Amino acid sequence: MSYEYTGKHLVAGEWVATEKQFSSAPAHGPVRQFSVGSADLVDRAVKAAEAAFETYGYSSREQRAAFLEAIAEEIDARGDDITEIAMQETGLPQARLVGERGRTTGQLKLFASHIRKGEYLDKRHDAALPDRQPLPRPEIFLVQRPIGPVGVFGASNFPLAFSAAGGDTASALAAGCPVVVKGHDAHPGTGEIVAAAIDAAIKRTGMHPGVFSLIQGGSFEVGTALVKHPLIRAVGFTGSLRGGKALFDLCAQRPEPIPFFGELGSVNPMFMLPEAMSNRGEALAKGWVGSLTMGAGQFCTNPGIVVTLAGADSDAFVETAKLALADVQPQTMLTEGIANAYRDGAKKFAAADGVKTLLTSTCDLRNATPYLFATTGQEWLSNHALGEEVFGPLGMIVTVSDFDEMVSVARSLEGQLTCTLHLDAGDAELGKKLVPILERKAGRLLANGFPTGVEVCDAMVHGGPYPASTNFGATSVGTMAIRRFLRPVSYQNLPHGLLPEDLQ
């Protein structure tokens, strides 16, 4: 490894140490020491971000696009070191992390291309009508403008794509908003080296150093200080419902409330329609197992729930899934805390009334092996807790007595990131009845696929009604994510020379 870790925070272009330290907890490899952040450091970083906004918020789209591309290039230049430290800290395999780095740099480049096109600005112009009766109309322009400094929380399960230079940071920087990142304690070394790449891109492109800061450790104090700082204009978060709800409430309770764009969790139910089950039930069961256990089930789009009609096809599906899950080998989870929560979730389901344990396993330390449970539609509808997310490779099969009960299960769902229909041609009429229900429940509807794997593109929505996310009109993946950090401004009768550059 060629990179030498400092264990410091990056605050407005300066690497800053603090006296208090915390130790990393890698899955393997050396334990490293990192400085613990503080409210004072947050204040320093946010004030620097506000100072940077005076220029960065009025920079050209070309300047910001070049900056985003420079970040991608600097990350790739450190690619081997990033992969090595991320493997040590998270236990994720090399191929997964190389792919995630490609996704991270790819979305930086995608936002560069997106802002160059300029369509996101939604420019509008109503010409003056001085002779209109009974009153003349003034000339009015409209354009989307950046909101100011943004706070971003790194995610545990994506050390690159949803962390220091992840989608929240990329979309905020593309919009013209400086960013202060609260790094995740699960992968501080990965966060530091990515911050070093961003710092190099700042220097290379001549940006104000306050455009990006990374503060490590001090989870509660730092997180609270960040969301409550009066100069922060919005917050991006990916994580647990409990942690996200607490931050969401803090944002709402500020003297000047701000938007909290939290992606909080989902069980991503799949509805198996009868003809599809009859024609290809075995393949569906194996496909579900592959998606459920991918990455030790540590994806926010992990399909934890299957809803199927009672009968021989459902019974065969269950047996195939059970056999396939039994062959899955232990996988390392991201942190000991996540592994403990996974085991606790499995115990809760095993003890629940009306739930049958189909496959149990022994997992210790940071290892995860699958669990499989089954219940009826009636039990599901009577026990809200059965719809709560368990982060990991845990599956629940809900067997309903008829299609009407399947519809009732669909109606009972809380907000989801995804809902999936598996259907063949003969299932079309049943599908038509479910789609209007499910589109009110989720940000993304799938047919005959599996939700793990979120394409980074113009048409993607990664969000959904609460509790999947705190703002169902937004997405944290795809180019529409930039809208979170913009606001429309109208300019009435301003001399053209005073208009923003994008309206010149």
Average pLDDT, the chain: 96
Mean pLDDT in residue range 310-325: 98
CA angle 201, 206, 212 (to 5 degrees): 55
pLDDT at 304 (0 to 100):
97
Cα 301 off chain centre by: 10
Output the pTM of the full model. 0.96
Structure tokens at 88: 């040590």
The strand pair at 356-359 and 442-447 is best described as unpaired
Report the C-alpha gap between 97 and 107 in whole angstroms: 15
Cα 266 off chain centre by: 11
Q: Is residue 406 pLDDT above 80, yes or no?
A: yes
Mean pLDDT in residue range 239-251: 94
Confidence of residue 392 (pLDDT cuts 50, 70, 90): very high
Mean pLDDT in residue range 235-259: 95
pLDDT at 395 (0 to 100):
97
Residue 483 is given by DSSP the state G
Mean pLDDT in residue range 175-195: 98
3-state secondary structure 107-160: HHHHHHHHHHHCHHHCCEEECCECCCCCCCECCEEEEEEECCCEEEECCCCCCC
Which residues are catalytically annotated? 263, 300
Report the C-alpha gap between 222 and 367 in whole angstroms: 30
Alpha helices in 331-476 (DSSP H): 336-351, 377-382, 403-412, 428-438
Structure tokens at 380: 């599901």
SS3 212: strand
Please choose, from the candidates 389, 439, 400, 402, the residue with its C-alpha nearest in 3D space to the C-alpha of residue 419: 439
Please choose, from the candidates 146, 412, 195, 160, the residue with its C-alpha nearest in 3D space to the C-alpha of residue 305: 412
Through-space distance between the first and last CA atoms of the chain, rounded to whole angstroms: 49
> Does an H or E element contain 51, and which?
helix 39-56
Mean pLDDT in residue range 206-224: 95
Q: Are 229 and 381 in contact (CB under 8 A)?
A: no
Of the chain, the percentage scoring pLDDT greater than 90 comes to 96
Report the C-alpha gap between 365 and 26 in whole angstroms: 12
221 burial type by CB count under 10 A (0-12 exposed, 13-18 middle, 19+ buried): middle
Residue 366 is given by DSSP the state T
Q: Are 233 and 47 in contact (CB under 8 A)?
A: no
The strand pair at 416-422 and 442-447 is best described as parallel
Mean pLDDT in residue range 165-190: 98
Per the listing, tokens 């232990």 go with: 330
Mean pLDDT in residue range 356-372: 89
Interval 84-132: pLDDT, tens? 999 999 999 999 999 999 999 999 999 999 999 999 999 999 999 999 9
CB atoms near residue 45 (< 10 Å): 31
Q: Are 374 and 351 in contact (CB under 8 A)?
A: no
Please choose, from the candidates 246, 209, 205, the residue with its C-alpha nearest in 3D space to the C-alpha of residue 228: 246
Residue 80 vs residues 8, 71, 77, 84, 107: alpha-carbon distances, Å: 21, 16, 8, 6, 19
421 burial type by CB count under 10 A (0-12 exposed, 13-18 middle, 19+ buried): buried
Residue 23 vs residues 154, 213, 313: alpha-carbon distances, Å: 18, 21, 51
pLDDT at 219 (0 to 100):
83
pLDDT at 363 (0 to 100):
73
Interval 115-126: pLDDT, tens? 999 999 999 999
Q: Are 156 and 95 in contact (CB under 8 A)?
A: no
Mean pLDDT in residue range 378-406: 97
**Phi/psi-derived region of residue 150, left when phi > 0, alpha when psi is between -120 and 50, beta in every other case:** beta
Interval 433-484: pLDDT, tens? 999 999 999 999 999 999 999 999 999 999 999 999 998 889 999 999 999 9
Mean pLDDT in residue range 392-404: 97
List, in sequence order, every residue forming a beta bridge with 479; answer none if it has no partner: none
> How many Cα atoms sit within 13 Å of 89 on the Cβ side?
26
Confidence of residue 378 (pLDDT cuts 50, 70, 90): very high
Q: Is residue 1 pLDDT above 70, yes or no?
A: no
ω into residue 467 within 30 of 0, thus cis?
yes
